[in-house]
Amino acid sequence: MDWKEPDMFEPAEHGNKPFSIRVPALVVSRGARDQINFLTAMWFTPTGFEPSRMVVAILKRTLTYQFMLERGEFVMAAPTDKMMEIVVLAGAVSGRDVDKWKAGGLTPVQGTKVSVPLIGEAIGNVEYRVVQQIPFDEEMDLFVGEVLATHVRKGAMEGELYREDSNPLLYMGTKYNHNGKPLGKFYAHLAGIERTNYDSPLLKKYLPGKK
């Protein structure tokens, strides 16, 4: 093997930084006494095709954690880019201090399987039942949610893809100036969708006839 020096890379201070492009989610939960709450989540991953499950890490200190235990069900809502302010609020403030649902002026929509509402303004909502709670570390547990029902905004998707003219919130992150001072959260819009080049030499050779 002709190893090269890693001149094209530079170290990053955050372990998983190259994977910061990911759709943020709102995890909606409901307490035993019917309070509705939601937090902003980025530590999650869909796992498996059928049945599809979701693994999401939830901090023990959050109100969401308490509500997940109280009802054993939750909804994950995919926000639109118009919901960025709500996403920032939900990640910075606890439902113990602020009624975030009311503050965000969100529309509760009845799901089909769980008693937790869908978010009417979201581009998609998924209903889950907690099937596993996996201890992770001092700070958080992993919750595994089994998908019970999926709701996508009418006309927003084609097959597995969002349509080019739809507006999912694609990703968000903090920008810093050259002194390391945070300049606030920034976010990205969906700018275009391209077809994979199946006629490329690589795919023609190894995946012939595949579409």
Ligand X SMILES: Cc1cc2nc3c(=O)[nH]c(=O)nc-3n(C[C@H](O)[C@H](O)[C@H](O)COP(=O)(O)O)c2cc1C
Name beta bridge partners: 185: 174
187 touches ligand X (CB under 6 A): no
Amino acid in position 98: V
Place of tokens 């810093």: 176
Q: Tell me how far, at minimum, the Cβ of 210 lies from ligand X, in Å.
A: 35
With beta carbons less than 8 A apart as the criterion, state whether 72 and 32 touch. no
58 touches ligand X (CB under 6 A): yes
Residue number, 59 or 131, with CB nearest to ligand X = 59
108 touches ligand X (CB under 6 A): no
- Residue whose C-beta lies closest to ligand X: 91
What is the rounded (10 degree) CA torsion for 51, 56, 62, 64?
Answer: -20
Residue number, 24 or 111, with CB nearest to ligand X = 24
The H or E element that residue 174 is part of is: strand 171-176
Rounded distance between C-alpha atoms, residue 74 and residue 91, angstroms = 17
Q: Using CB atoms within 10 Å of the CB of residue 180, give its burial: 0 to 12 exposed, 13 to 18 middle, 19+ buried.
A: exposed
User: Of these, 91, 108, 133, 136, which contacts ligand X (CB under 6 A)?
Assistant: 91
40 touches ligand X (CB under 6 A): yes
Structure tokens at 148: 């019970």
Binding window for ligand X (CB under 6 A); candidates: 12-20, 51-59, 112-120, 124-132 = 51-59
Rounded distance between C-alpha atoms, residue 190 and residue 169, angstroms = 8
37 touches ligand X (CB under 6 A): yes
Residue 133's φ and ψ, nearest 5 degrees, are -125, 115
Residue 119's φ and ψ, nearest 5 degrees, are -95, 115
Residue 128's φ and ψ, nearest 5 degrees, are -130, 150
80 touches ligand X (CB under 6 A): no
Q: Tell me how far, at minimum, the Cβ of 52 lies from ligand X, in Å.
A: 18
Binding window for ligand X (CB under 6 A); candidates: 77-85, 91-99, 144-152, 202-210 = 91-99
64 touches ligand X (CB under 6 A): yes
Q: Tell me how far, at minimum, the Cβ of 38 lies from ligand X, in Å.
A: 7
User: Of these, 23, 43, 108, 144, which contacts ligand X (CB under 6 A)?
Assistant: 43
Residue number, 90 or 123, with CB nearest to ligand X = 90
Contacts with ligand X by CB under 6 A: the residue count is 21
Binding site for ligand X (CB under 6 A): 24, 37, 39-44, 57-59, 62-64, 90-96
